[in-house]
Amino acid sequence: MPVRDVLRYPHPVLKRVARELHPGGADAAETLRVAADLRDTMHAHPGCVGLAAPQLDELVRLVAVDVSEHPKAASNHGELVLVNPVVAASEGGEVAREGCLSIPALTANVRRATWVRVEALAPDGEPAHVEAEGFEARCLLHEIDHLDGILFLDRVDSLATDVFRRQRYR
């Protein structure tokens, strides 16, 4: 599948709510196509640990996360591709720096849960769930936010003190 262009803020699609998919039925081909594009595009950007379908101009509820190469990953489930993910439970809270391919010039301090349980479907339509902590939990929450038109800048406490120009993109 092709590596796709990643939409950049202020593209209006990034602020819209994505629709659910039916991967085992009517949306099977679309689900597999978008899932493959997400994986290929994510892996084409060094240091990228997650991507959501709206970032590829696809308004569907599909995310990919892979923290397996990241040194901050306390939990690591390898490459995850989740359809219609929902945060079923979360605990804790921690402020840490986040960035995003859709806002490449900035990073920000964002408070996120430190543990999550996410219920979803696999691209083939089978039920899937993941329990993640630390950095992997943060990445899942960041990507799921994209499905609801929420960007990491929407989650900062203070635009004056918690947003920073990116020094370099890893």
Active-site residues, by number, are: 143
CA distance 23 to 87: 19
Residue 69: CB partners within 8 Å, gap ≥ 6? none
| Structure-block tokens of residue 37 | 């594009």
Contact 95, 118 (CB under 8 A): no
Q: What DSSP letter does each residue of 96-153 carry, written as one string? A: EEEEETTEEEEEEEEEE-SEEEEEEE-TTS-EEEEEEEHHHHHHHHHHHHHHTT--GG
Contact 120, 84 (CB under 8 A): yes
